[in-house]
Amino acid sequence: MSEVYATRRSRLRERCNAAGTAAALISRPANVRYLAGAAPQGAVLLLGRDQDQQDQLVCPVPPEDRPADGRPDESLVLHILSTPGRDPAVAAADLAGSQGSEALAVEEHHLTVARYRALDAVAPGLRLAGLGTAVEQLRLIKDEEEISCLRIGAEIADQALGELLESILVGRTERHLALELERRLVDHGAEGPAFPTSVATGPNSGRPGHRPTDRRVEEGDFLSVCLGAAYRGYRCEIGRTFVIGTSPADWQVELYDLVFAAQRAGREALVPGAACRDVDRAARQVLDSAGHGAALQPATGHGVGLEIDEDPQLAPAAMGKLDACVPVTVEPGVHLPGRGGVRIDDTLVVRPEADGGPELLTITTKELLAL
């Protein structure tokens, strides 16, 4: 496994060298984990300016040995700070300066202004440069090992959701259903939820990112659920909407069919080389043409991986194209204020048509189930 991380760091080093900067400081936790195999609390990664200079993981305290957190790549030098309370990023800049680096590329989209100033002050001979989102760009395309973690996470989420559907729902609160789903995720082997589980009933249903309340499930409600498992650090997402009781109302069937058609259009647009904004438009125009444009969220999907919301964004103003082996969500929804709504959300991996097209990771049925 160590080679994977060393290879990732070499690719980043090539980019840094090409950009004329030398050493780099990686502080965003998901980026640290991607390059170092683990991101102990507060740790930063100092990437040496060439292969001869060893990369260092600077940690405020010794990392816990906990399988779910990953293990730091053994080819890294582990540097544990001896001064309690010192910012590891400042310590790393200090190290870089004392090791003769003239420039240090930093993650300006992650460091606060205050930390940046402290870095700038610690090593007077060291010029700070911008690393940009270089690591995020490396993270876009996943290897099969990463996809396999997402696939297992999706299976776990499918299982947790499947079990919930077999239980009695009427009378239970959104908050309790969300907690039960999270317990089931852990039962089936997740490290934990990939993000706070969303359970939305009745007038809350269909709201993106709705946080559970004490509202109880009632007959006739739409129930929309969005959850995901974290597995070896990788985070997937599934969202489904159900109806409570035996026969959905006409407006419910109509709205459901519409969102389903939009979500299918989005899924079918997932081909290598497709512009991200075109995938978004495929889903969005189905809702727009039915007059639900204003009810839409800013994006109809996004990448997933070590973070639950990463690049690419499937949104109207998104730049860039999809590549094979990029996992994304497709999750259009409609929320009608006061009435509720529908969201349908899958995690899929972009694959060439020759390989059978997009790989659906979250396989729970998308029929409108009456529970």
Q: Which residues bind its own copies (CB under 8 A)?
A: 41, 64, 66-69, 84-85, 106, 108-114, 116-117, 175-176, 179, 182-183, 186, 207, 209-211, 213, 297-299, 315-317
Tokens 């007077």, residue? 124
Q: How far is the CB of 117 from its own copies (least distance, A)?
A: 8
CB of 93 to its own copies, least distance (A): 14
Nearer to its own copies, 337 or 356 (CB): 337
Measured from the CB atom, the residue of 108 and 359 that comes closer to its own copies is 108
Parallel, antiparallel or unpaired: strands 44-47 and 333-336: unpaired
Find the shortest distance in angstroms from Cβ 24 to its own copies: 15
DSSP label at 128? E
Q: Which is nearer to its own copies, 73 or 280 (CB)?
A: 280
Question: Which residues are bridge partners to 243 per DSSP?
Answer: 222, 370
Q: How far is the CB of 95 from its own copies (least distance, A)?
A: 20
Kindly report the backbone phi and psi dihedral angles of residue 327, in degrees, each rounded to the nearest multiple of 5, phi listed first: -85, 135
- First-to-final CA distance of the chain: 45
How distant is the alpha carbon of residue 195 from its chain centre? 9
Nearer to its own copies, 114 or 168 (CB): 114
How near is the Cβ of 158 to its own copies at its closest, in Å?
A: 20
Inter-CA distances, 101 with 47, 53, 88, 245, 350, Å: 11, 11, 17, 67, 40
* C-alpha dihedral, 11 to 144 to 233 to 313, nearest 10°: 70
For residue 338, give both structure tokens.
Answer: 């006061």
Query: What's the min distance (Å) between Cβ of 220 and its own copies?
Result: 22
Residue closer to its own copies, measured from CB, 79 or 211: 211
Contact status, residue 271 vs residue 251, Cβ threshold 8 Å: no
Q: Between 180 and 359, whose beta carbon lies closer to its own copies? A: 180
Q: Rounded to whole angstroms, what are the CA distances from 328 to 14, 112, 313, 349, 361?
A: 27, 29, 9, 6, 10
